Structure 1
Amino acid sequence: MVDSDDFDALEHGLARVNGVKLHYVTAGEGPPLVLLHGWPQTWYEWREVIPDLAAEYTVIAPDLRGLGDSEAPLSGYDKDTVATDVRELVHDLGFGDEPIALVGHDWGMPTAYAYAAQYRDEVDALCVLEAGLPGVREDEKRHLWHTRFHGVRDLPERLVAGREELYLSWFYKEGAYDPSAIDEDARDEYVRCYSQAGGLRGGFEYYRAYDEDAENNGAHAADPLEMPVLALGGAASFRTLPIEDMETVATDVEGEVVERAGHWIPEERPDYFVERLTTFLEDVT
């Protein structure tokens, strides 16, 4: 559990970048380290790891377009656009003149890949967790029931509205090796965000951009990434899929299947994640 003093050390901000208002959290001093969350979560998924990471880095953890306390426009959910949001935020915060280390989990993974592929000279290390890249390889994980369901226009919002806690809690439990890792406080925070106006739609739009993401990723993959990449998959979840996808689009990839973890690695294994990430960054930057 995060100490209250750790939350006091976090700075919350709002910035209008790329035509959208983003909420973000920063902490610490040092080289910039950007953490990109996934669905159905927010910046808050990093709460257990930010304090330790902030001892060495300036941590920047935004709520992505349409999610958390960021604005939810009607369009712009392809990951190239979402990545550009984040890049403009990084520049707005004064880190445009130095390369960043970039971490992406779940939908944050293809967003981080899109950032690194579009702005290669601005990323010196990339870490991805627990997702695949649309359009890169064919794999059964890409056909998870909820990927197709969320991709249907309007229907998921109508069915889930008013049942957000029931629906989202199913994912937190079923995706975990240790269901207690996402505690009541975290669940309440996630449900709060996805229950507010535009919250469900913003999340589902990430799935509706799948085909556009696949096309964009196919173009990016023609020029493989050369920066060091760390890819992690939970032993009780995606396992080697993130590693295999990144090996398709990058030339310098190390990967690991994380034991005693499901989909929520930063919450299920925070100490492991901090140690593994910082060791990787120390070795390659």
Structure 2
Amino acid sequence: METSRRLPDLTMNYRDSGGDGPLVVLLHGWPQTSYCWRLVEPLLAEHFRVVAPDLRGYGLSDKPVTGYDKARMAQDIRELVTVLGYDTVRLVGHDRGARVAHRFALDYPEALTHLSLLDICPTLHTFRSGTPETARGYWHWLFHMKPDLPELLVGANVDAYLRYFFEHWAVQRAAVEEAIPHYVAAFSRPGALRAGFDDYRATIPDLELDSADFEAGRQIMIPTQLLWGEGGLVGGTDVLAAWRPFAPRASGQELAGCGHFLPEEQPLVLAELLLAYLLTETARS
């Protein structure tokens, strides 16, 4: 079921399994929407109520002109959890959604029992590493941060621009091909391109807050699951080493034969690994 709820700052659209059990919230990345979880949701819904929102600015959620820093976006998710009637949540984030989930873990630790982060390294680590591999892998991040220019150039052919990433970031390309028209339509809506780029334009305030937290020794203290694709954006990186200063109880593994888009390229494997973690006792204990 797809529906919307009014939160204090915006109306958020989300997919809802309507199942019983503890709440699992799935956060998508760019250039996607909650639709990316369609193959994983029913597998998790056998044990949980599964909710997959369109993040602020994405899909059918509102696209305000402010609020794309990860602290505000994490607050959106905290408010959604409350509106849904839950005190705690199991949180799974992919790509940009994983960055929102990272911030949620720091700002709302009392509300979080389990955290799974897919195919990312911490934002602060990524910008501090400064290697040639970082430049090759994340050129789009700096481009998206430019004011006005990305909208001007991408708006002329949204399909070609998004398709570039799906073809270059995926190993199982056929697995994501059928969904591309959905994502193109989503980013062709009024304000959608600008909102997606605003997510990246919030990088400077995000880095400032991340740096302050890091210097203050604030970490994710619950056991954290890290999963990444063999051919994904962090494939070939020592992902666990990158996360340990930020989440000392992190563990995880690489998915073979998989690129960046884990929920669509390897949904069965991903769901099995998520369930093995999400069904454990409250990770805070």
Same fold (TM over 0.5): yes
- Which of the residues 68, 72, 77 maps onto 2:63? 72
Q: Is 1:270 matched with 2:263? A: no
Q: Report what 2:247 is aligned to.
A: 250
Q: Report what 2:16 is aligned to.
A: 26
Distance 1:94 1:251 in 2: 31
Deviation at 1:142, TM superposition (A): 4.8
Q: Report what 2:95 is aligned to.
A: 106
Tell me how many residue pairs correspond in the alignment.
272
- Which of the residues 109, 114, 120 maps onto 1:120? 109
Distance 2:204 2:240 in 1: 22
Q: Report what 1:146 is aligned to.
A: 140
Deviation at 1:273, TM superposition (A): 0.3
Larger mean Cα displacement after TM superposition, 149-158 or 237-246: 237-246
Task: String of CA shifts for 1:7-37, please: whole Å, max 9, x gaps.
Answer: xxxx222122241111111102210001000
Q: Is 1:207 matched with 2:204? A: no
Deviation at 1:232, TM superposition (A): 1.2
Secondary structure of the structure 1 residue equivalent to 2:279: helix
Deviation at 1:243, TM superposition (A): 3.1
Distance 1:219 1:128 in 2: 22
Distance 2:246 2:15 in 1: 30
- Which of the residues 198, 219, 227 maps onto 1:232? 227
In the alignment, residue 204 of structure 1 is paired with which amino acid? F
> Do the aligned residues in 2 keep the contact of 1:104 with 1:110 (CA within 8 Å)?
yes
Q: Report what 2:163 is aligned to.
A: 169
Consecutive unaligned residues of structure 1, counting only runs of 5 or more, are 1-10
Distance 2:189 2:239 in 1: 31
Q: Report what 1:5 is aligned to.
A: none
Give the direction of change, closer, same or farther, for the CA distance of 1:79–1:242 in structure 2 (3 Å limit).
farther
Q: Is 1:135 matched with 2:139? A: no
Task: String of CA shifts for 1:11-64, please: whole Å, max 9, x gaps.
Answer: 222122241111111102210001000000000010110011111000010000
Secondary structure of the structure 2 residue equivalent to 1:249: coil
Distance 2:27 2:4 in 1: 16
In the alignment, residue 175 of structure 1 is paired with which amino acid? W
Distance 2:112 2:4 in 1: 23
Q: TM-score, normalised by structure 2?
A: 0.92
In the alignment, residue 188 of structure 1 is paired with which amino acid? P
Deviation at 1:219, TM superposition (A): 2.8
Distance 2:251 2:74 in 1: 23
Task: String of CA shifts for 1:230-265, please: whole Å, max 9, x gaps.
Answer: 011211121245433321211211121111111001
> Do the aligned residues in 2 keep the contact of 1:135 with 1:215 (CA within 8 Å)?
no
Give the direction of change, closer, same or farther, for the CA distance of 1:24–1:85 in structure 2 (3 Å limit).
same
> Do the aligned residues in 2 keep the contact of 1:39 with 1:106 (CA within 8 Å)?
yes
Distance 1:14 1:182 in 2: 26
Residues 32-111 of structure 1 mapped to structure 2, 5 A cutoff = 32-95=23-86, 97=87, 99-111=88-100
In the alignment, residue 101 of structure 2 is paired with which amino acid? A
Secondary structure of the structure 2 residue equivalent to 1:275: helix
Provide the alpha-carbon RMSD of the alignment. 1.4
Consecutive unaligned residues of structure 2, counting only runs of 5 or more, are none
Secondary structure of the structure 1 residue equivalent to 2:220: coil
Residues 186-197 of structure 1 mapped to structure 2, 5 A cutoff = 186-197=179-190
Q: TM-score, normalised by structure 1?
A: 0.92
Distance 1:82 1:142 in 2: 25
